[in-house]
Structure 1
Amino acid sequence: MSLLELIAVADERGLAASGLACLDRCLPLLADGGEPELLRPLWGSCEDGRDWDTRLTAAREAMEGENVADETAVLVRKMLGAAPSEWSADPLREWARACSLVALEIHRQFDIPTGGGTGGDGVQDSTEQLKRWSAGEAEGAGPLVAGELHRQIKILETLAETAGTAGSAGGLRGALDRSTEGRRVLRAVMSRRARGRT
């Protein structure tokens, strides 16, 4: 199934973890590199929604203390700010879709060579392209976007496979591990980009 199809059929657990994983991978954009520990309590709520609202409020307060370096970093803070307090499939699905697109857009920007433009109709053209990639049309996706698409798909597949089973906790750990891997990739790309500008 495509990324959009997986999001469409995911349960609350899968949607919350998917959105949270997208946010987690983009933490390096914060000026000080982000602190993944601020999201750990929320990961603990993904299994059944217990204390989701309380932990979400705490995570938002913690992220308010993080510095943002540019407009792209502001997107990371907005992702957390847009998370629904209600543990319900519909609002979580909307959030997961939005987080997915933001994460893909961030990776797309790093696929573009320094000084390159978006071409076409700018933001609108970019959004349509991201939606096509999410729907399974991978043509034109750069290596970072392709990697991010793969991670998002594998996380949702793993969570769906382990839902309601004895391995459900392992599914969440797998999602966190993939997210950590993606965070390291983005941090390395950002470091190379910064060195190229000096």
Structure 2
Amino acid sequence: MSLVELIAQADTRGLAASGLACLDRCLPLLDGDDEVLRPLWAALAAGDGEADARDWADALEQVRGKLAGPDAADEDEAVLLARRMLDTAPAGRTAAEARAWADACSVASLRIHRLLDPLADDALDTEAEREGDLADVPPLVAAELRRQTAVLELVTAHGPAGLRGALDVSTEGRRILRAVVSRRARNRVGTE
């Protein structure tokens, strides 16, 4: 099943997990520590009730405060895309809001990975990739597609119990992106 189909069929929790996982993997671009999103993961695991929705909204407000960044004029496209994922996260968790956010985060995260992949050209065909066309997909982007698919499949198959696996998938992706961002920063320093 393609990523687009998985997003179309996911429930609200799966959609919120998908968007949150994309943001989690792109966290190195926002200079956040590895634990900063834990309150959002915890609120997502808690349930779908009204109190849990308040917990999500409160946690989202705290995370935004901790990851508030500098003036956007000083940030490159990858950082701006990651920041937009955080800024557009819905305080509510309705299916429509979660679906729009998950879809936007999927596209943004793939674009970020394409921007950071040294083997990628700038040709952007994210929709074809999300539909399953993996011809000539650079390695970093292909790995991100696999992670996005894995998160949705885990939460769809296992419900709240799948969130632990989804977090593990995101942690692995975050470590890889952190290494890519670090290497990129070293290369910039070396060329200045």
TM-score, length of structure 1 as denominator length: 0.84
By how many angstroms is 1:43 displaced? 0.4
Q: Which residue of 2 aligns with 1:172?
A: 163
CA distance in 1, matches of 2:152, 2:86: 19
Q: Which residue of 2 aligns with 1:93?
A: 99
By how many angstroms is 1:76 displaced? 1.6
CA distance in 2, matches of 1:117, 1:140: 10
CA distance in 1, matches of 2:175, 2:34: 11
Out of 31, 43, 46, the position equivalent to 1:45 is 43
Out of 142, 159, 164, the position equivalent to 1:146 is 142
3-state SS of 1:184 partner: helix
Indicate the RMSD between aligned Cα atoms, in angstroms: 1.9
State how 1:181-196 maps to structure 2 within 5 Å.
181-196=172-187
Equivalent pairs, count = 181
CA distance in 2, matches of 1:196, 1:82: 31
- Report if the CA contact (8 A) 1:16-1:96 is conserved: yes
Q: Which residue of 2 aligns with 1:24?
A: 24
- Report if the CA contact (8 A) 1:34-1:66 is conserved: no
Cα distance 1:67–1:191, how it changes in 2: closer, same or farther (>3 A)?
farther
After TM superposition, where is structure 1 displaced by more than 4 Å over at least 4 residues in a row?
65-69
Cα distance 1:67–1:40, how it changes in 2: closer, same or farther (>3 A)?
farther
Q: Which residue of 2 aligns with 1:74?
A: 80
Greater Cα shift, 33-42 or 151-160: 33-42
3-state SS of 1:140 partner: coil
By how many angstroms is 1:42 displaced? 0.5
Cα distance 1:53–1:4, how it changes in 2: closer, same or farther (>3 A)?
same
By how many angstroms is 1:96 displaced? 0.2
By how many angstroms is 1:191 displaced? 2.4
CA distance in 1, matches of 2:168, 2:12: 20
Question: Structure 2 stretches of 5 or more lacking a match?
Answer: none
CA distance in 1, matches of 2:42, 2:6: 22
By how many angstroms is 1:190 displaced? 2.2
3-state SS of 1:34 partner: coil
- Report if the CA contact (8 A) 2:114-2:122 is conserved: no
State how 1:8-23 maps to structure 2 within 5 Å.
8-23=8-23
3-state SS of 1:46 partner: helix
Greater Cα shift, 41-50 or 87-96: 41-50
Letter in 1 for 2:91: S
Give percent identity, aligned residues only: 51
Letter in 2 for 1:140: D
